[in-house]
Amino acid sequence: MKIKAAIAGGTGYTGGELFRILLHHPDVEIVAATTTSSEGTPVCEVHRDLIGETDLKFGKEVGKPDVLFLCLGHGLSREFLDTHDIGDSCRVIDLGNDFRLDGDYAGRHFIYGLCECGKDNIRQAHDIANPGCFATAIQLALLPLAGQGLIQDEVHVTAITGSTGAGKKLAETSHFSYRDNNISIYKLFTHQHLGEIRRNIGKLAGHEPVVNFVPMRGDFPRGIFASVYTRAAAGMTEERYAALFEDYYKDSPFVFHSSSGISLKEVVNTNKGLVHVELHDGYVHISSIIDNLVKGASGQAVQNMNLMFGLDETAGLKLKPSAF
């Protein structure tokens, strides 16, 4: 019997990605999709690439699914749980930031769902707080260091994201005329993902590191490229760092260490994460890349679902990259 899934907030970018993944998932049936703006509208009229893929229409209620994906604006997931009748047996995966730092709400306990860290906890979880996109990319660069106590100084991050990271709602900085041929900094040192990065990495490292984060808007639609560096630990060579990353991700089906430099197109449209480590003048530098809508959002949410329901972790996620 297939898992019955419902999507709340299915008209946005992450909702659209969930449709694209789950419609071809061998173990899932989408039974409902809610929206506040397009009730009664066929899903394929909102997501035009899904013409011929589904006859589902947007509605107001989620029914009685086995799992509910919340693809709502940040701060709206709590409101949705308060105003909808969600059965206790229904598992919830929140793609917003409502439960990443405070996981207890309305009798539910949300586990932080970074699939490359704490996988056993995810398998046992009833509800999941999906990590943020920047948080995912940056933590993939830091997890191997944190686990070995090798973060001994401040961490410096500059990361650039595609325009889809701003969501579907139009803003001045998401207009084509602003974004095209343009790069800009935003939320300098104050980005909302810093809290979850510091807390989660801090649990592994034994202390919360100082993370200096410079987020940037890119002039491309999707993908995140994070440049991460910190002072190298005594006695660590580039070869030892590379071996550390190889070992940490050896059992990961989606995250890989590359021995050579990496670029965004190697991961766009996939659930992959690629990392590359180098040593320069006493500093260890890690490049980390993901697709912000897949590994940074909907793909990781499905990966979490697979783990929660005891499925093959890669089910529905063997996606083709856009190489050119």
**Does residue 315 lie in a domain region?**
no
Of the candidates 306, 232, 226, the residue with the CA atom closest to the CA atom of residue 264: 226
From CA 112, how far away is CA 142, in angstroms rounded?
A: 16
**Does residue 319 lie in a domain region?**
no
pLDDT exceeds 90 at position 170: no
Full residue range of the structural domain in which residue 68 is found:
3-130+295-308
Q: Are 42 and 141 within one domain?
A: no
- Residue 48 is part of a domain; what is its CATH number? 3.40.50.720
CB 218 within 8 A of CB 183: yes
168 confidence band (pLDDT: 50, 70, 90): confident
Q: Taking each helix axis from N to C terminus, what angle separates 299-308 and 13-22, rounded to the nearest 10 degrees?
A: 50
57-61, long-range: CB < 8 A, 24+ apart: 57/33, 58/10, 58/11, 58/33, 58/34, 59/32, 59/33, 59/34, 60/34, 61/32, 61/34
pLDDT exceeds 90 at position 286: yes
Q: Are 140 and 225 within one domain?
A: yes
The residues facing 158 across adjacent strands are 214, 227
Number of domains in the chain: 2
Q: What is the pLDDT of residue 35?
A: 87
Q: Are 120 and 169 within one domain?
A: no
Q: What is the pLDDT of residue 88?
A: 95
Q: Are 9 and 65 within one domain?
A: yes
pLDDT exceeds 90 at position 194: yes
Q: What is the mean pLDDT of residues 54-71?
A: 95
**Does residue 314 lie in a domain region?**
no
Query: What is the pairing mode between strands 67-70 and 28-34?
Result: unpaired
Q: Are 194 and 304 within one domain?
A: no
Place of tokens 């920047």: 134
Q: Are 60 and 138 within one domain?
A: no
324 confidence band (pLDDT: 50, 70, 90): confident
Q: Are 138 and 93 within one domain?
A: no
Q: Output the CA torsion sign for 12, 264, 317, 277.
A: negative
State percent of the chain over pLDDT 90.
Answer: 90
State percent of the chain over pLDDT 70.
Answer: 100
**Does residue 324 lie in a domain region?**
no
202-237 confidence digits (pLDDT tens):
999 999 999 999 999 999 999 999 999 999 999 999
From CA 45, how far away is CA 11, in angstroms rounded?
A: 10
From CA 298, how far away is CA 112, in angstroms rounded?
A: 15
From CA 268, how far away is CA 137, in angstroms rounded?
A: 13
The residues facing 38 across adjacent strands are none
Ranking 73-77, 205-209, 308-312 by mean pLDDT, the lowest is: 73-77
Q: Are 159 and 126 within one domain?
A: no
Q: Are 92 and 137 within one domain?
A: no
The CB density around residue 267, as the number of other CB atoms within 10 Å, is 29
- Residue 266 is part of a domain; what is its CATH number? 3.30.360.10
**Does residue 321 lie in a domain region?**
no
Q: What is the pLDDT of residue 282?
A: 96
**Does residue 204 lie in a domain region?**
yes
Q: Are 192 and 247 within one domain?
A: yes
Q: Are 278 and 139 within one domain?
A: yes
Of the candidates 202, 228, 200, the residue with the CA atom closest to the CA atom of residue 214: 228
From CA 154, how far away is CA 275, in angstroms rounded?
A: 20
Q: Nearest-5° angle of CA 16, CA 21, CA 27? A: 135
Catalytic residues: 133
Q: What is the pLDDT of residue 38?
A: 77
63-74 confidence digits (pLDDT tens):
999 999 999 988
Q: Nearest-5° angle of CA 219, CA 222, CA 225? A: 80
Task: Put the strands of the sheet holding 184-185 in their side by side order.
Answer: 184-185, 211-217, 155-161, 224-231, 283-290, 273-280, 255-257
The CA distances from residue 81 to 34, 59, 95, 308, in Å, are 13, 16, 14, 20
DSSP 294: I
Q: Are 37 and 123 within one domain?
A: yes
pLDDT exceeds 80 at position 79: yes
pLDDT exceeds 90 at position 323: no
| Residue-averaged pLDDT of the chain | 95
